[in-house]
A = this chain, B = another copy of it.
Amino acid sequence: MVLKLYGLPTSPCTTRVLACLHEKGLNYEFVPVNLLDGEQKKPAFLEKNNFDLIFSFTLQPFGKVPVLEDGDLTLFESRAITGYIAEKFNDTGFDLIRYGDYKEAALVRVWLEVEAQQYNPAIQPIVYQCIVMPRRGKPSDQKIIDESVEKLGKVLDVYEGRLEKSKYLAGDHFTLADLHHLSYTFNVMKTPYASLFTSRPYVKAWWEDISSRPAFVKVCENIK
């Protein structure tokens, strides 16, 4: 049974899952969902989440794709999907969770949570204001951008210290913790705030390394 991913190629959360699928070298069917047409709010799609209200969320600016189908199992939340893929297909492709070494795996957990709780809340508003709002023909809010840039700078100061000591966030190996940063950072690099990354030598080297991995390059080609 081939994996089926419902998503929008330009959505960072969809891109996060695509990057994971490509790192694992898995076959999948991609089903584009047109968020602007509200396709993700139609009954046939809503049923995939087993309840009707999930798309009433307005907390995620890109809406609630992706959704993964694996046989009769339907999953949502991009970070849950990548964790599921990384663990279920541990023997396939790149080991993204340092399976079998509980200490390394524990550090992967820590940096996955740092991305989710510290990095994402700082970077997401920048992408939303600088890319999504103009795409919708709406003005961006410079105050939100400025506050988020300051927050992200402080987070990246910590990353700079960390990456001075280890090549990747969780240690010597590329893991899911690094991968989860790819999609939003890819977008910020297209904004005037790319210098947040390029001005910090260790962060810059890390970004150039992880963003040039063949799996992610392939995903980015499909976005274009």
- A223 is an interface residue with CB less than 8 A from chain B: no
Q: A88-B102, A121-B121 are in contact. Are A57 and B158 (CB under 8 A)?
A: yes
User: Across the interface, do A110 and B73 meet the contact criterion of CB distance under 8 Å?
Assistant: no
Indicate how many identical chains form the complex.
2
Q: Given A117-B60, A165-B51, does the pair A110, B154 have CB atoms closer than 8 Å?
A: no
Q: Are A59 and B118 within 8 A (Cβ)? A: yes
In the assembled complex, how far is the CB of residue A192 from the closest CB belonging to chain B, in whole angstroms?
A: 23
A43–chain B nearest beta-carbon distance, Å = 14
Asked whether any CB of chain B lies closer than 8 Å to the CB of A122, the reply is: yes
Which residue from B60, B75, B158 sits with its C-beta under 8 Å from A106? B75
Within 8 A of B (CB), among A155-195: 155, 157-158, 161-162, 165
Contact of A50 (CB < 8 Å), options: B73, B116, B121, B165: B165
Q: Is the CB of B106 within 8 A of A53?
A: no
Contact A84 B106 (CB under 8 A): yes
Q: Are B161 and A59 in contact (CB under 8 A)?
A: no
Binding site for B on A (CB under 8 A): 50-54, 56-60, 73, 75-80, 83-84, 87-88, 102-103, 106-107, 109-110, 112-114, 116-118, 121-122, 151, 154-155, 157-158, 161-162, 165
